[in-house]
């Protein structure tokens, strides 16, 4: 009678696989910022978001948010794509606000099931802002003759080289109110009964530290990404960083190929980005 021979199995075949957390960085101004410093957009982020939810043994997706805001449209599109995939794959999403998660940055954080921040992080700014300059007196002093021809009496609305008109400002504020309502609806939907203050305070456009945001119910806890994820999924959890995949020549030289034609737009984009961060003292 032959003895039963147990087949050899590699150790890894019967061990339970380690859980994986996909880390998706959402850092920078939201929206187009020129080719030198491209802002966050759905077009740029979609491949990484898709990859994040297809990783094997995925336990959670962690959003590393560090953004002063930007385009409300791109904020909504990115957040919706994350929510759609989270529901499709039944994967929890956590957001971790670093230096700042304000305005559109907080909109992105609201795509998560739970939001975390540091005690000194900047959180909130649930509002809409538009800014610009008026050059009417300057061009008059310089003796410059402004020539502008339009078809449609509202086509040159809010022209910085012309006097500001009350009707134009009223129209702009109406647009801002609509966008603000969309932002408020997103926060109400995602935070719900967690909110611990009146809407007049929360939706005023003010921003707070992470510690104060926790008391207001804008976030769920204080902590960093690795510590919180290890507390939830164990010390053996693995982290998979979803960085932008760039051509080798960009990695080597840190720039785009067509330097001459893009220099001015890149410079303006850098100034605009710097101004966005400066609103929060960063």
Q: Catalytic positions, please?
A: 103, 155
Residues 267 and 35: beta-carbon distance below 8 Å: no
Coil, strand or helix: which one is 117?
A: strand
Least Cα distance to 186 among 218, 147, 234, 164 occurs for 218
Distance CA 37, CA 31 (A): 11
Distance CA 68, CA 165 (A): 30
Phi-psi region of 197 (alpha: psi -120 to 50; beta: other; left: phi over 0): beta
Distance CA 256, CA 36 (A): 7
Residues 97 and 109: beta-carbon distance below 8 Å: yes
Least Cα distance to 96 among 202, 21, 180, 20 occurs for 21
Phi-psi region of 34 (alpha: psi -120 to 50; beta: other; left: phi over 0): left
Distance CA 137, CA 110 (A): 43
Residues 66 and 97: beta-carbon distance below 8 Å: yes
Residues 105 and 84: beta-carbon distance below 8 Å: no
Distance CA 24, CA 33 (A): 20
Residues 72 and 104: beta-carbon distance below 8 Å: yes
Extract the tokens encoding 269. Answer: 């984009």
Extract the tokens encoding 202. Answer: 């929360």
């Amino acid at each position: 009678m032959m003895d039963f021979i147990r087949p050899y199995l590699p150790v890894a075949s019967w061990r339970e696989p380690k859980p994986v957390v996909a880390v998706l960085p959402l850092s920078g101004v939201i929206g187009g910022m020129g080719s030198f410093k491209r802002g966050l957009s759905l077009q740029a982020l979609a491949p990484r978001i898709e990859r994040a939810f297809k990783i094997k043994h995925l336990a959670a997706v962690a959003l590393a948010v560090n953004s002063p805001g930007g385009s409300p449209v791109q904020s909504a599109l990115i957040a919706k794509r994350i929510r759609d995939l989270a529901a499709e794959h039944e994967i929890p999403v956590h957001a971790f606000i670093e230096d700042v998660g304000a305005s559109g940055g907080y909109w992105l954080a609201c795509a998560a099931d739970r939001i975390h921040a540091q005690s000194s992080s900047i959180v909130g700014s649930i509002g809409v802002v538009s800014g610009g300059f008026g050059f009417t007196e300057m061009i008059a002093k310089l003796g410059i003759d402004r020539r502008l021809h339009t078809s449609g009496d509202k086509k040159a609305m809010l022209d910085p080289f012309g006097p500001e008109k009350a009707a134009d400002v009223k129209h702009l504020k109406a647009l801002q109110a609509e966008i603000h309502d969309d932002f408020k609806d997103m926060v109400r939907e995602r935070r719900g009964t967690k909110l611990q203050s009146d809407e007049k305070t929360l939706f005023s456009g003010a921003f707070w530290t992470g510690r104060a945001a926790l008391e207001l119910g804008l976030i769920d806890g204080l902590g960093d990404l690795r510590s919180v994820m290890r507390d939830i999924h164990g010390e053996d959890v693995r982290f998979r960083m979803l960085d932008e995949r760039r051509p080798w020549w960009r990695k080597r030289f840190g720039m785009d190929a067509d330097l001459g034609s893009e220099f001015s737009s890149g410079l303006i984009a850098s100034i605009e980005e710097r101004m966005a961060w400066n609103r929060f003292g960063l």
